[in-house]
Amino acid sequence: MNIYEKIDLNKVINASGKMTALGVSTIKDSVGDYMKEAAMSFVKIEDLIEKAGELISKYTGGEDSCITLGASAGIAISVASCISGNDISKIEKLPISEGLKNEVIIQKGHAINFGAPVTQMIRLGGGLPIEVGQSNKVNPYHIEEAINEKTAALIYIKSHHAVQKGMTSIENMVNISRKYDIPLIIDAAAEEDLKKYILLGGDLVIYSGGKAIEGPTSGFITGRKDLVKCCRLQYKGIGRAMKIGKENIMGLLKAIELYDKNDNSKEVVGQREAMEWLSDEVNQIQGLVASIVKDEAGREIYRCQIKVEKDILGVDANYIIENLEEGDPSIYTRNHYANIGIINVDPRPLKRGEERVILERIKEIVKDIK
């Protein structure tokens, strides 16, 4: 019985991914030990935030870094820094930004909902989102035509939620930002490569500490020293409502140290093998068709994709999903394509053998239909 079951909450099998709604990741014992020790001592938080940024930058290649409560807070703080600079009077007024250079250009296919609208995170930082192009097609000229004297920043959302085709590339966004001397913010929350987007030319790059890095609830912004300094200053303004505790800062530092040393190629192979086994087994169930698919955003993640054939089973994917979630344990799958009959099983959060529990539960649901 885990700690949540002890307070009468259902046990959860997470086959959805590193999702905020399910607690993102589980941390390693050594990270938990680090957090416990940190929680039992005092420290000057301002100094800790600055030192954490210095240490994180060794792993990212950024000139400096700013710790945050998470990637969504990182968007708001990054936008705020581009609007206010180091002007404390402006910082104290945000998110009210009338009369300031406050427009943030975002491609329409990137104006996503990740659990909340990304445009709302921009507004929390005082930004006015300017959506350009169409949801399936954005050309560089759409972005350039939107630039004016009010433009504070460009933002690029690197996410599986975003439209993956027809968008202007990061490389083109970098060229435009350089041409007009406008900062480029890259939201790389769940990305695995901590150096890639700095090397590509991002001015401020945002990561979640709790996703690929498998740290506690946390995040960071890395990039240009002058802009990162302005990010830290936001803790005198809107950042105060997004502050992160000392134990989570230290947990992130330990997690990123372990992440840098970890070669996850064996994990990827093992995860893929588990999904191939599950796919083979599911394909023996009439009315379900399974296959292996790679992550739509290009990461080395291989999921088992299950197509529910409604004309054979007489029920749709949502019926299977609801029954999985209502069972004991509750099984949560990745359901972004449920409307077209597709359920995905993500192997990363699964504990050993949980793929077998998922299979047996699917078999039970299908048997009950018949």
CA dist., res. 327 & res. 282, Å (int): 19
Helix (H, G, I), strand (E, B) or coil at 295: coil
Side-chain half-sphere of 24: how many Cα atoms within 13 Å? 19
Res 267: pLDDT: 85
pLDDT on residue 276? 95
Give the pLDDT of residue 370. Answer: 65
* DSSP class per residue in 196-237: HHHHHT-SEEEEESSSTT--SS-EEEEE-HHHHHHHHHGGGT
Cα–Cα nearest to 52, from 202, 246, 203? 246
Residue pair 148/175 in contact (Cβ under 8 Å)? The answer is: no
pTM over 0.85: yes
User: Consecutive 10-residue runs of the chain (370 residues): their mean pLDDT?
Assistant: 89 91 90 96 97 98 98 98 98 97 98 95 98 97 98 96 94 98 97 96 97 95 98 97 96 95 82 95 95 86 94 94 94 94 94 94 90
Would you tell me which CATH number, out of the four given (3.40.640.10, 3.40.50.920, 3.30.950.10, 3.40.50.150), belongs to the domain 42-261?
Answer: 3.40.640.10
Summarised one tens digit per residue, pLDDT across range 155-199 is 999 998 899 999 999 999 999 999 999 999 999 999 999 999 999
Residue 63 has a pLDDT of 98
Contacts of 360 (CB under 8 A, 6+ apart): none
Q: Is 298 left (phi over 0), alpha (psi -120 to 50) or beta?
A: left
Q: How far apart are CA 93 and CA 232, in angstroms?
A: 16
Q: Enumerate residues 6+ apart whose C-beta is below 8 A from 290.
A: 278, 279, 280, 282, 283, 304, 305, 306, 307
Q: Using CA atoms, how far apart are residues 80 and 75, in angstroms rounded to an integer?
A: 9
In the chain, domain spans: 5-17+264-369, 42-261
Q: Which of the following CATH numbers is that of domain 5-17+264-369: 3.40.50.150, 3.90.1150.180, 3.30.70.380, 3.40.710.10?
A: 3.90.1150.180
